[in-house]
Structure 1
Amino acid sequence: MANIVVYGAYGYTGELIVREAKKQGVSLILSGRDEKKLKVLSQETGFAYTAVDLNNNQALHNLLQNAQVVIHCAGPFQFTAKAMVEACLKTQTHYLDITGEYQVFELIHSYHDAAKRVGIMLLPGAGFDVVPSDCLASHLKAQLPNAQKLQLAFATTGGGLSRGTSKTMIEGAGEGQVYRSNHQLKTKPLGKSTPLIDYGPFKKLSVGISWGDISSAYFSTGIPNIEVFTGSSEKQIKALRWSHRLGFLLKVKWVKALLKKQVDKKPAGPTAEKRGKSNTYLWGKVESTNGKTYEARLKTPNGYTLTAKATLLFANKILNKDFKAGFQTPALVYGSNVIFEIEGCKFENRASH
């Protein structure tokens, strides 16, 4: 019996995880709602499958009953995480997911005590969102323990977005940029924060986004002021500012449904060739109240490639009894250096002022 269930196995990122597991010789059970897609993937990989709807509590419990770990890949997670986490609590199954949604970190953090009581770990953000940035944040905090402000940013060369990532972004459209100020989550207009960031090999105009680290890095470091940026362009920033003006429209269900239909016409995600040529560069900076700062940069493979490797790394650690019960972040449970257990991840340069 396989000890790991991948739910949402036929999605773009789920399938990458499944194929990486096959390459590593790791046994899995494939799951998700669509039996036809599961059957095709099962025939291609040799892994057994069970079709389960998240709304069917009994079927979900039966799926997880004999599993030690679930890797939850079916987003947007703000709609799917609650059912999976509650099923994991009942079946005492460790939980991993690949979310970058700050709302999901806040939600799962509320289950910390319940997870401790039953002895399982809840680790959302076990992929590119948020493993490298969480490790970078934790490293920065260690260099400047009295830091009161944290800025994180990332930019990708080549690559592209999966349908799932695009749909999650559509769900968040219209709410503005969420950031953390004096421990509290606050919102400001999209496109208001646009610094020019030095990622190491290049400088890039970047824009503030509502990224998972405003919650995960807060739980990892306790730093009260956190903002996250991503590499952008004048054209994209202009579009974001317009989207903020049209925010009321982007919150309407039928508008979101229409945008998602357009996403479905696009490729599932970047090709293997594109991923192979793509790297992600992360930058982080902490600042103390007396003005002292420390910066660091991190280079990783393409985010989707990193996600496949990171989720399986953590699942195997759990199977080897290497975990902490309760809600965790990657750096809280495994330390900031866990990122270097993934091939192709390294610091570019570091500096303090």
Structure 2
Amino acid sequence: MTRWLLYGANGYTGELIAREARKRGLEPVLAGRNPTAVKPLAEDLGLECRIFELRDADTQLSGIDVVLHCAGPFSVTAAPMIDACVRTGTHYLDITGEMDVFAYAREIDGLARAAGVVVCPGVGFDVIPTDCLAAALHQAMPEATGLRLGFDLPLALSPGTVKTILDGMAAGGRARIDGRITATPLGGRTARIDFGNGTKPALAFPAADLHGAHHSTAIPNIEVYIPMPFLLIRCTQISRRFTGLLARPGVRAAAHKLIDKTVKGPDANQRATGTAYVWGETTDAAGRRATARITTANPYRLTIDGALTAVTDLLAVPTTRPGAHTPATLFGADLITRLPGSSPLTITTPHATEGTPQ
């Protein structure tokens, strides 16, 4: 009998996934380090629970075939869980959008292959849609040398997502240039982009796709954009002087506590009705370009469906190719169109330049 464990079940997204899994007749083992939060949820859903710190994960993964890791911040928690999964022969999935986790997955690829273990971060929003668009665009233009991705999503965000954005700002700007992750000025790369709902000013930010999409496509130049009003773009540019302050552990810890107290995440209605717009564009050395767009369900709804699809697919095919993967390399570029609420993925080759950098 195959079994899977959901670590971080008491978090905002973890609990949503746990409740939906139970509705579908799935029986994950719910886990986390906080007994007062995890045990009542497990009792409510009639599920087994395990309470443990990540340093004790090896002994707690006995009998588990797949871990779905939902406990952030993933830049701190992912590596210990990945290491434990590799040591115990347990497949690893998570819902991160943090680029450092994808970098670590690539570092440990050889060990994962030797252990027969799949390590696939990012089986939620934003990585599933952007990674699938990147892979589809690469199939349409294999000779592409440049890739730009982006998404426009509802404003309501969970505490974990807000923390990820804050931590990303603390690290400054990033882009993949000539195959290498390169530091760029925060707010230094802007564009005007039609994500699928009208042209808007947009700002490049250090997304996981700088690692993940490169793994999926081998395209050497990658940027990722989100729409932002021009005034906020200007404020971001001005805030460069504060990135050093945000990088201080004490300041970030205080900011995280404030976020936990003030940010609640979208309610059920917002999760049911919100729509995200996802865009991608490849260019080749001759200046030709291909553009892809898709609309999806609300990011949290997509994460629930994407994570559970990844778990059930991986459990169904336990001999899946081991090693580090992205959602598109493991489950195929069509994964996004298999999820409820997704439109067909369209790829066009327009004559006009889209999202011209400013």
TM-score (normalised: structure 2): 0.94
- Report what 1:21 is aligned to: 21
Q: Distance in 1 between matches of 2:302 and 2:5?
A: 19
- Asked whether the 8 Å contact 1:159–1:278 carries over to 2, the reply is no
Distance 1:242 1:261, change over 3 A: farther
- Asked whether the 8 Å contact 1:2–1:29 carries over to 2, the reply is no
Mean CA deviation greater in 84-93 or 239-248: 239-248
Q: Distance in 2 between matches of 1:284 and 1:173?
A: 23
Q: Distance in 2 between matches of 1:172 and 1:191?
A: 12
**Displacement of 1:268:** 2.9
- Asked whether the 8 Å contact 1:115–1:325 carries over to 2, the reply is yes
- Asked whether the 8 Å contact 2:98–2:208 carries over to 1, the reply is yes
**Displacement of 1:2:** 6.7
Q: What do residues 282-308 of structure 1 show as CA deviations (whole Å, max 9, x unaligned)?
A: 110000000110001011101111111
Aligned-partner SS, 2:148: strand
Q: What do residues 244-281 of structure 1 show as CA deviations (whole Å, max 9, x unaligned)?
A: 12112111122212211220112431111111121110
Show structure 2 runs of 5+ residues with no match: 352-358
Identity %: 37
- Report what 2:130 is aligned to: 133
- Report what 1:63 is aligned to: 60
Mean CA deviation greater in 251-260 or 11-20: 251-260
- Asked whether the 8 Å contact 1:133–1:213 carries over to 2, the reply is yes
**Displacement of 1:33:** 0.7
- Report what 1:206 is aligned to: 202
- Report what 2:269 is aligned to: 273
- Report what 1:40 is aligned to: 40
Residue 279 of structure 2 is aligned to residue 308 of structure 1: no
Q: Which amino acid aligns with 1:16?
A: L
- Report what 2:321 is aligned to: 324
Please give the residue correspondences for 1:138-217 in structure 2 after superposition, counting only pairs within 5 Å: 138-156=135-153, 158-217=154-213
Q: What do residues 101-139 of structure 1 show as CA deviations (whole Å, max 9, x unaligned)?
A: 111101111111111111111001111131111000000
Q: Distance in 2 between matches of 1:228 and 1:195?
A: 11
What is the total number of aligned residue pairs between the two structures? 349
Mean CA deviation greater in 94-103 or 267-276: 267-276
- Report what 1:286 is aligned to: 282
TM-score (normalised: structure 1): 0.95
Aligned-partner SS, 2:170: coil
Q: Distance in 2 between matches of 1:248 and 1:221?
A: 33
Show structure 1 runs of 5+ residues with no match: none
**Displacement of 1:350:** 2.9
Aligned-partner SS, 1:299: strand
**Displacement of 1:313:** 0.6
Mean CA deviation greater in 332-341 or 279-288: 332-341
